[in-house]
Amino acid sequence: MSNYTPAKTANVPTGKTAASAFADDFISIRVSPNSYFIALFLTTFLSGFLIYLEQDFFAVWLLAASWLTLPLLAYTDRITFDGKRLARTGFLSRFWAWTNSTKYRLKISDIEQVESQALRALKRGGNVFYRYRTTMRGKNRRFAFASGSEDYRQMIGKILPLLPENVLDNRSIELRDYLAEPKEILMKAEFARIPSADVLENSLNEFQNPAKNTRAKTGDRKTGGEEFERADYLRRLANELRVSGYLLQSLEAFRRALLINPKDAWLIFDFARCLHSFAGSEKNEKLRRKSIAALRLAEKRASAEDGELLARLGESYFQYGDWRRAASVFKRAAETVKQSFRSARGLAEIALREGKIAHVIHHFVAAHRLADAPALRRWTQNETDYFSRLNRDDDYMEMEVSRVNLLENLESAKKTCLKIAFAGFPAIIFGLVSDDLIANVGWATSCVALLVWVGVMFSQSLLSSRVPMDFDEEE
C-alpha cells in the first residue's frame, strides 16, 4: 500500500518572509456586481414610475445618472492583494467603511476562515461548469470573490498557500491544490489517453462499481514503484479534472488509479467526493449512495495514525448531512490520534447542531488549545466567549434566538415580496395598453412590495451581526 499523502502546494510561512516574497505581485479581482445590478433595477423601476406620474424631467435625470454611474462604480469596485493584505478599492465600499468607522483592509495574518462554495452554472453532457465563490473572514470583515476569469485562479494561487491549512475548508484546500488552467488539464488528460466525455458517457457503468472491477482485474497483479507513481499522477490529474468540472474524465482517471492501487485510502476518499459531485449533477440517488459507501471504505482503510484524513472524512460527512457518521469519525480521530484542531472544530459544529451548548464550549476550548495560528486562536476564543455567555445568561440567549428566528422570517418575507413585485409587472404592462385602473393596481402592488423588499434587506444587514456580549439590557 502506498504511503502517499495529498499533494499540496508548498506552504509559504506567513509573516515578513512571505510578505516580502509576494510584495511585488499585485493582483486584483472584480467584486461580484449583484448589489449594483439590484440598485440599477430599482432606479430603472423608479424612473418608469416617475414617467407614469408624468415627472419626465426627474425620471430622465435619475435614469441617466444611474446608468452612467452604477456600471462605472461596479467596474472600479475590486478586491486587491499586494502580498500583505486584502483591500477593497470601490468608492462606495470605502465610503461605507468610513461611515461605520471600520477598515476596508485585512491583513493576510488576520484571516480566520476561508470557505468556498461550488455552484453548478451549466451542465453539458458529463461536464459541469462550476462557478466558485470564496469568502475570507477575519476581524469582523468579509471579502468575497467569484470565479469566471484568470484573476480568480491567480488570487487563489497567491493567497491560499500563505494561509494555515486549518483556516481552509475542504473545498478551499482542493482549490489550492488542484485549480489550474482548463486547457492545460485537458491537454494532460489527452496525453494520459483519457477519452473525452462524449466517449465516456456510453461506459458509465465502468466506474459505478470500481471496487468490483478492481477485484476482478487486480487479483494476481504485482504493483511496483513505477506503477504507484503512475497511480499518484492519475490521482492528481483526476482531482484537477474534477475541480475544473470534467467529472466523467475525472472518474475515468480515478478508475484507472484504483486499478493500480485499490487500497489507498486517500485515493478512495477523493474518488468518493468526485462521485458525489457527479451524482448531484445527474440527480442520481444510486450514485450518491455509492459515493457514501466509498467514503466509508476510505474510512475503513484509513491508517489509525492518519488524523488528517479522518478529519477530512468527518468534514465530508458533515457537508453531506450525515452528522452522526461525522461525529463518529471525529471522535475516532481524537481517540486514535492526537486530537487535531479540525476534529475539535468539527465536534463543536456537530454539538451546535444538536443544541448541546456545554459541549460546544468544551470543543472550542480544545480547538483554541490546538490552534496553530494567532487568527485561529482569536476566533476560537471569541466563539468560546460567545457560547459561554449564551450558556450562562438566559436573557442573552433569548435575544440571540429571537434574532436568528427573525432573520429566518425576514428571508422568507424577502422572497415573498419579490414574487409579489414581479406579479405586478404584467398588470402594469396590460394596464398601459388597456385600462389605467389595472395599471394603477400594478404600480401600487409592485412599488409597495419593492419598498418592503428593500427594507427587509437593510434589516437583514443590521441583524446579521451577533448581539454584543457586553450588551446590558438594564441600560
C-alpha distance from residue 23 to each of 11, 26, 27, 154, 164 (Å): 17, 7, 11, 15, 19
Under 8 Å between Cβ of 248 and 197: yes
Closest by CA position to 117, among listed 35, 40, 174, 55? 174
Q: What distance in Å separates the CA atoms of residue 25 and residue 75, rounded to the nearest whole number?
A: 21
- Strand, coil or helix: 3: coil
Q: How far apart are CA 47 and CA 64, in angstroms?
A: 10
Mean pLDDT of 427-435: 83
Cell of residue 107, nine digits: 491583513
- The yes-or-no verdict on residue 127 having pLDDT over 90 is no
Contact 22, 86 (CB under 8 A): no
Within 320-393, residue ranges assigned H as helices are 323-336, 341-353, 357-370, 374-392
User: Tell me: the pLDDT tens digits for 173-229?
Assistant: 999 999 999 899 999 999 999 988 777 776 655 555 544 544 444 444 555 678 888
Eight-state DSSP code of residue 166: G
The four Cα atoms 288, 124, 251, 270 give a dihedral, to 10 degrees, of -60
Provide CB contacts within 8 A for 293, sequence distance 6+.
Answer: none
pLDDT at 13: 43
Buried b (16+ CB within 10 A) or exposed e, 74-100: beebbbebbbbbbbbebebbeeeeeee
- 296-304 mean pLDDT: 88
Q: What pLDDT is attached to residue 255?
A: 92
pLDDT of residue 8 exceeding 70: no
The mean pLDDT of 140-157, rounded to a whole number, is: 88
CA angle 50, 52, 53 (to 5 degrees): 65
Query: In the block, which residue shows the cell 429566518?
Result: 408
pLDDT score for 14 = 45
Q: Which of 125-129, 328-332, 456-460 has the lowest mean pLDDT?
A: 125-129
Q: What is the pLDDT of residue 429?
A: 87
Confidence band, pLDDT 50/70/90 cuts, at residue 140: confident
Residue with cell 468607522: 101
pLDDT at 89: 85
Question: What per-residue confidence (pLDDT) applies to 374?
Answer: 92
Q: Show the cell assigned to 460.
A: 437583514
Q: Please say if the pLDDT value at position 250 is more than 70.
A: yes
Phi, psi dihedral angles at 474 (to 5 degrees): -70, -25
> DSSP H helical segments within 222-319, as ranges?
225-243, 247-260, 265-282, 285-301, 307-319
Contact assessment for residue 197 and residue 249, using Cβ atoms and an 8 Å cutoff: yes
- pLDDT for 367 equals 92
pLDDT at 59 over 50: yes
Look at residue 406 and give its three-state secondary structure: helix
Decide if pLDDT at 372 tops 70: yes
Is residue 6's pLDDT more than 50?
Answer: no
How many C-beta atoms lie closer than 10 Å to residue 156's C-beta? 22
How far, in Å, are 67, 414, 415, 458 from residue 453 at the CA level? 22, 5, 8, 9
- Write down the mean pLDDT value for the chain: 84
| Strand order through the sheet with 105-107 | 27-30, 78-81, 85-88, 105-107
What is residue 475's three-state secondary structure?
coil
Q: What is the pLDDT of residue 475?
A: 45
- CA-to-CA separations, 429 to 296, 434, 436, 437, 459, in angstroms, rounded: 57, 9, 10, 12, 31
Tell me which DSSP letter residue 118 carries: E
- Who's near 378: CB < 8 A, 6+ residues apart? 112
Over range 97-107, report the average pLDDT: 72
Q: How far is residue 340's CA from residue 311's CA, in Å, rounded to a whole number?
A: 8
pLDDT tens, residue by residue, 30-58:
888 888 999 999 999 999 999 988 898 99
Listed residue (171, 178, 170, 113) closest to 314, CA to CA: 170
| pLDDT for 18 | 44
Please state, in angstroms and rounded to a whole number, the distance separating the CA atoms of residues 311 and 25: 34
Cβ partners under 8 Å of residue 121, min gap 6:
129, 130, 131
Q: Determine which helix (DSSP H) or strand (DSSP E) holds 354, and give its type and residue range.
A: none
pLDDT tens digits, one per residue of 302-345: 887 788 899 999 999 999 989 899 999 998 888 777 778 999 99
* Whole-structure pTM value: 0.83
Position with higher pLDDT, 104 vs 362:
362
In percent, the amount of the chain with pLDDT more than 90 equals 49
The share of the chain scoring above pLDDT 70, in percent, equals: 86
Question: Distances in Å between the alpha carbon of 307 and those of 181, 231, 365, 376?
Answer: 31, 23, 19, 19
Helix axes of 323-336 and 341-353: crossing angle, nearest 10 degrees: 150
Read off the C-alpha cell for 388: 459561554
Say whether pLDDT at 473 is over 70: no
